[in-house]
Amino acid sequence: MAGPLPQNLTDSSATIFWLCNTECSMTLKYGLSLGHLDQTGAEQPPSGKQREHRIVLKNLQPDQNYFFQLLDAEGKLLASGQFQTEPSAFAQVGKLKIIDGPVFEYLTDTSVQIAWTTNNPSSTLIRYGADPNDLRKTAQAPWGQETHRVEITGLAPNTKYYFVVESAQARDSGTMAKSAEGAFQTEHQGEAALTNIEPRR
């Protein structure tokens, strides 16, 4: 599985994206505390069993930490995560924002390509590691793009990695945009790559 990955965070909405290595059907539960996941996210339109999934969560409260879990058809916990919504004034003019993504463009047993889009040209950096509390490894691309694309190589097969993407130093803004933490698992050695999962423009 690649993800679940919080995307396109605003003050009142968020998208949760994930990819399964086979067709799958899951339920997303979310809420303001891990012990009280009282809301259920629904795919629109309902997609049934497929590999790529995206659920948009709406009517969220600004500047709040949300928790979520993905459950299989029998209610077994498969993955969990959290994200923080933006403050109510996040859309102010000139502030650097991630407006699309991050997404996985391809995933192999030893590499991954991740892309995202910002509203202004800025820097391109991914912090990652196998331990979610130690994201000291970095991969980057040259400054100056709005569509950011980074390939990470030299990964271990069949290993779960955690990451965040960052863009900073936008012209006339002096701000930084940072994604929520995401995760992916590399393929088993020798397995076919997942390619063109969701290429950016």
Please report the pLDDT score of residue 201 as a whole number. 47
Give the Cα-Cα-Cα angle 58, 2, 11 (nearest 5 degrees): 25
Residue type at 67 in one-letter notation = F
Give the residues across from 2 on adjacent strands.
19, 184
pTM of the shown model:
0.77
Largest CA distance in the chain: 51
Domain with CATH 2.60.40.10 in the chain: 2-84, 98-195
Torsion on CA atoms 87, 100, 95, 31, rounded to nearest 10: 10
Domain made up of 98-195: CATH architecture: Sandwich (2.60)
Structural contact between residues 7 and 16, judged by C-beta atoms closer than 8 angstroms = yes
Across the range 7-33, mean pLDDT stands at 87
**Cis preceding-peptide flag for 102 (omega within 30 of 0):** yes
Cβ proximity of 18 and 103 under 8 Å: no
In 35-189, where does DSSP find H-type helix?
none
Domain 2-84, CATH class in plain words: mainly beta
Among candidate residues 67, 92, 90, the one with its CA nearest the CA of residue 77: 67
**Distance (Å, whole) CA 74 – CA 39:** 18
Q: State the Cα–Cα distance between residues 160 and 3, nearest whole angstrom.
A: 10
pLDDT tens track for 178-200:
999 999 999 888 887 776 555 55
Question: Mind listing the pLDDT tens digit for each residue in 60-111?
Answer: 999 999 999 998 888 899 888 999 998 887 766 668 889 898 988 889 999 9
- Alpha-carbon torsion, ordered 161, 190, 2, 42, to 10 deg: -160
